[in-house]
């Protein structure tokens, strides 16, 4: 896993990497939820994500599911950073950029140009929210079983494939299984292709948009402990990449669909959450081998190291 690179150096930083993840960092507002225990209410009070207008834009090179997992772990402690699937448009002010994938004419006649563009990505994020949990699975203690149950509800191409997961901040607070799954595909996929393929899957399609936030920071708990013992991990599968089906959508239609993506969809409310500040992640699956060097390196940067 390579360190983040600024858009201006993206072509150099991405050298040797198959793909990249775009990181947006706010100028102050939190990109995570805060849970504060209220003795009077005998329940946590929830502060939602902050409303940020300007961002620093970076890119992080990735070439595999293990690169992706290590990269996401490395930024999980940054409460002001999240990721998007879009690619930074060359020439933007990467230190003070708006989050926009279409050009907008403002009321005063000025033009606010797009800063992100749709590109096919090898990495696939899946937001699975409010999934009913079978009675024989404890969604808090049986984290690997909970994730495998969610995977069983996805199209068959995801079966037996290595998956990195993050339980959302509402997991353990609200009922059901609430998780974000990340996969690597053996060919790059546009957002519109993912929407078509996963039309009937129990996933939130709003993150299949170039500028839609995909929250990665751990939530913050004040005056209470995180009810979930493990917020993230990697489950090693028989294969490290998903093989998507051949989709009927043709390239001209695909490009037209991307061009016609509406502002309403862009501003659609996301329900993606992230992982807690006070708890650290662990890795599911094999504990040795070169496959996990990137993950181990990310964890070693923690004050307490990897457990």
- Which pLDDT value is given to residue 46? 83
Residue 111 corresponds to which tokens in the numbers above?
Answer: 């033009």
The predicted model scores a pTM of 0.76
Share of the chain above pLDDT 70, in %: 75
Q: Residue 126 forms beta bridges with which residues?
A: 181
- Which pLDDT value is given to residue 249? 53
Given the structure tokens 């909970």, which residue do they identify? 146
Nearest to 238 by CA among 136, 159, 164: 159
User: Whole-angstrom Cα distance, residue 292 to residue 66?
Assistant: 7
Angle value at C-alpha 238, between 232 and 239, nearest 5 degrees: 85
User: Whole-angstrom Cα distance, residue 261 to residue 230?
Assistant: 37
pLDDT in tens, the chain (307 residues): 444 444 433 332 344 578 999 999 999 999 999 889 999 999 988 888 888 999 999 999 999 999 999 999 999 999 999 999 999 999 999 999 999 999 988 889 898 899 999 999 999 999 999 899 999 999 888 999 999 999 999 999 999 999 999 998 788 788 899 999 999 999 999 999 999 999 999 999 999 999 999 999 989 899 998 888 888 999 999 999 999 998 765 444 454 454 444 333 333 333 333 333 233 333 333 333 333 344 434 434 333 333 3
DSSP 123: E
């Amino acid at each position: 896993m390579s360190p983040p690179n600024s858009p201006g150096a993206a072509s150099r930083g991405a050298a040797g990497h198959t793909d990249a993840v775009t990181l947006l960092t706010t100028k102050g507002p939190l990109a995570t939820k805060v849970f504060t225990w209220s003795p009077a209410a005998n329940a946590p009070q929830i502060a939602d994500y902050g409303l940020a207008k300007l961002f620093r834009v970076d890119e992080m090179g990735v070439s595999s599911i293990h690169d992706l997992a290590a990269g996401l772990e490395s930024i999980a402690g940054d409460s002001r950073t999240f990721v998007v699937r879009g690619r930074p448009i060359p020439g933007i002010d990467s230190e003070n950029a708006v989050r926009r994938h279409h050009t907008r004419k403002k009321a005063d006649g000025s033009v606010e140009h797009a800063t992100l563009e749709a590109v096919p990505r090898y990495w696939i994020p899946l937001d699975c929210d409010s999934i009913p949990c079978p009675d024989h699975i404890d969604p808090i203690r049986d984290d690997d079983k909970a994730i495998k149950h969610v995977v069983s509800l996805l199209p068959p191409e995801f079966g037996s494939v290595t998956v990195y997961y993050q339980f959302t901040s509402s997991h353990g607070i609200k009922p059901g299984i609430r998780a974000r799954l990340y996969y690597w595909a053996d060919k790059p996929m546009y957002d519109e292709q993912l929407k078509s393929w996963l039309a009937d899957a129990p996933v939130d399609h709003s993150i299949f948009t170039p500028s839609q936030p995909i929250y990665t920071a751990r939530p913050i708990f004040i005056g209470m402990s995180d009810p979930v013992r493990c917020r993230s991990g990697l489950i090693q599968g028989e294969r490290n990449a998903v093989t998507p089906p051949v989709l009927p959508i043709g390239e001209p239609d695909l490009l037209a669909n991307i061009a016609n993506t509406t502002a309403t969809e862009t501003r659609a409310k996301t329900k993606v959450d992230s992982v807690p500040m006070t708890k650290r992640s662990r890795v599911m699956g094999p504990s040795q081998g070169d496959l996990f060097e990137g993950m181990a390196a990310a964890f070693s940067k923690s004050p307490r190291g990897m457990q």
